[in-house]
Amino acid sequence: MDGNTIVILAWQDVILRLEEDSSLRPAQRRDRISAVRRVCEIAGVDPIAAPASLEYMRPLLKKVRPAKHGLQPKTWANLRSNLRAALAQARPPQPQCHLDPAWARWRAALPNQRMRVGLSRLITHCERKGIAPTAVCDAVLERFLAELEADTLVPNPRACHRRTCYLWNEAVKKVPGWPAGPVNVPPPHAVRRTLPLSSYPERLQQEFELCVSPPAGHRFGRVIKRSSDQPR
């Protein structure tokens, strides 16, 4: 089987692999299988047909409003976390990455743990692809983003990519002789601070409508002015 062979075609394959995985504790197996089924149900996909890919699922999950399905935000976060864990468990082992001495030198030169951890994924990507430290540029970071979106368990690939660009530029400033220059840092995505009314339970929507509805007989969009000689 070569590295281009797709082993897991659908989420149902993930379930079958988890059922046969003796390394999992019963509670882990139950929670991960349950998460796969529940998330597929909420996202409106058939686990038999839907590809076991976060790239495929991510835009569907972004549209989900947990309250509409009777879920607390923490419960929804746990379901997604178990979904990612299920996919990681069911995937075939990744080929071992051979450490590049050139990259090992620059790993060691990073001044703190925050930068070492934050740049570790990019460095591993470069080692796996045979990209030298001196070759890192915007194009390399774009390919790194494509890998994050297509083939990793990162919950928010664009945020990870942006943070990596920022830390790379920090290394350029702080580490003497850093092997390549700064890269472009993409702007942050706007974060929505409110939810649409439709995301809340139907009963709450009805109560809200009653609260904001005008009194009987009132007509919006028209202001009636009384003259001083009009009877009150």
Query: What are the tens digits of pLDDT across the range 5-56?
Result: 445 579 999 999 999 999 999 999 999 999 999 999 999 999 999 998 888 8
Q: Which residue from 175, 184, 155 is spatially nearest to 115, judged by alpha carbons?
A: 175
Three-state DSSP class for residue 59? helix
Q: Is 164 helix (H, G, I), strand (E, B) or coil?
A: helix
Among candidate residues 105, 98, 103, 121, the one with its CA nearest the CA of residue 167: 121
Taking alpha carbons only, the member of 151, 122, 150 closest to residue 137 is 122
| 219 DSSP assignment | -
Per-residue confidence (pLDDT) for residue 128, from 0 to 100: 87
Give yes or no for a contact between 132 and 138, defined as CB atoms under 8 angstroms apart: no
| 76 within 8 A of 66, measured Cβ to Cβ | yes
Instruction: Check residue 74 and give its pLDDT.
Output: 92
If one counts every other C-beta atom within 10 angstroms of the C-beta of residue 115, the result is 18
* Mean of the per-residue pLDDT values of the chain: 82
Burial class for 105, CB neighbours closer than 10 Å (0-12, 13-18, 19+): exposed
The reported pTM is: 0.57
- Indicate the pLDDT class of residue 199, thresholds 50, 70 and 90: low
DSSP 8-class letter at 194: S
Do residues 33 and 27 touch, judged by C-beta distance below 8 A? no
pLDDT of residue 155: 72
